[in-house]
Structures are given as C-alpha cells and as structure tokens.
Amino acid sequence: MPHVDPIAREDLPHLEEWFQLIESVMGFVPSSLNTMAHVPGLVEGFQALATAVIANPIIDGELKNLVSHVASRAAGGRYCQAHAGATAAHQGTDPAKTAAVWEFETSDLFTDAERAALRLAFHSGANAATAADFAACREHFNEQEIVSIVAVCAMFGYLNRWNDTMATAHEDEPAAFADATLAPLGWDAEKHR
C-alpha cells in the first residue's frame, strides 16, 4: 500500500497529453507520476528529464529497457524492475531475453556490447562503476552512447529511490509481468501491491 495516495488521473487534466504519450510507449501510466503531482512542477520537471533520456535515439529502446532493469535490480528497485520488463514486452523485446537479463554475462541471448552496457548498469545501480566498466563500454560505444547509458541508470536511480520510499503500487501490466516472469526467479514485490 502506498505511503501517499496518488492523485487521480482525471484530476490532472494538464498532464493528460503526457500521460497518453507514456501510455503509448509503456502500455500504462506509472502511478508514481500521480504521486509526484502533489508537488507543483515536479511531473513537468521529470517529464523534461525523461524525454531527454528515453526519447533520444542515441541507443536503442531495447537496450534502454534492459539497462534500466539491470540498474534497478542492482539498486533493489522492485517497482522499476517490473516496469522495465513490462515496457520491454510492450515494445516487442523477446520475453526470453528479458527473463534472461539477470544472466546477461553468460546467456547467448546477449552480445558483447550489451554485456558491457549491462555490466556498467549493474555496477552503477550499486554506485560501484569502475574505469574497467567504462573501458569495456568504449570497445562498443562512443562517448555519447556511454553518457546515454549512464543517463538511463541515473534516471532510474531517482525512480528506484522514489518508488521504494513511497511504496508505489504496481499497475496491472507490470504486476502481471513480475508475477509471470520475475517471481519464479525469487523476485518479490509485496511492498508494491
């Protein structure tokens, strides 16, 4: 149960266009935005950050979803793990790949470039990224792409902190994804029910 009740969508008409865009990309609107709406301008500020980080074409959407999932896992962000997985599924990522993301180092489903990016994401989620992580990324990505990967990790750092602190309730789609895909791996989102 959330610690702060989200504001109902119908009570936020000034955000409806943004909510529709998010729904088209993710398949749902994160209820965390409805909680952020308690502070005037916070959703709009987050919207600007999220647009710069997620809507840019610097790295592809599948890699962004996988990076956000792995960074969230490292940070212990259950809410965002479910969101990243559900969004990846909505956008057409192979469900087997999403399910195997926790074994990215050994799974044949991942390229060396993806492994480097996901290793950086995992270490960044725990504030433990090293020069070696960046060196491995430089074998596959340019500076702009590396900064984009870190931007995804940093944005999800904020979201992980926000949603775990607020105990934000999962929406139907991420909850179903988590129950079907993550629960068999030992994942538990009781806090977000």
The pTM (predicted TM-score) of the whole model is: 0.92
Which residue, chain included where needed, has tokens 């909680």?
A: 35
Q: What is the pLDDT of residue 190?
A: 61
Please tell me the total number of residues recorded for the chain in this structure.
193
- % of residues, the chain, pLDDT over 70: 93
Nearest to 72 by CA among 189, 190, 173: 189
Residue 182: both structure tokens together: 């993550």
* CA max distance for the chain: 49
124-175 per-position pLDDT tens digit = 999 999 999 999 999 999 999 999 999 999 999 999 999 999 999 888 887 7
Residue 103: both structure tokens together: 């074994």
Q: What is the pLDDT of residue 1?
A: 85
Q: What is the pLDDT of residue 108?
A: 96
Distance from C-alpha of 182 to C-alpha of 161, rounded to nearest angstrom: 20
Mean per-residue pLDDT of the chain: 90
27-46 per-position pLDDT tens digit = 889 999 999 999 999 999 99
Domains of the chain and CATH, by start: 58-192 (1.20.1290.10)
**Number of neighbouring beta carbons within 10 Å of residue 132:** 11
The H or E element that residue 73 is part of is helix 61-75
Return the higher-pLDDT residue of 176 and 18.
Answer: 18
DSSP sequence for 140-186: T--HHHHHHHHHHHHHHHHHHHHHHHHTPPPPHHHHHHIIIIIGGGT
Return the higher-pLDDT residue of 78 and 62.
Answer: 62
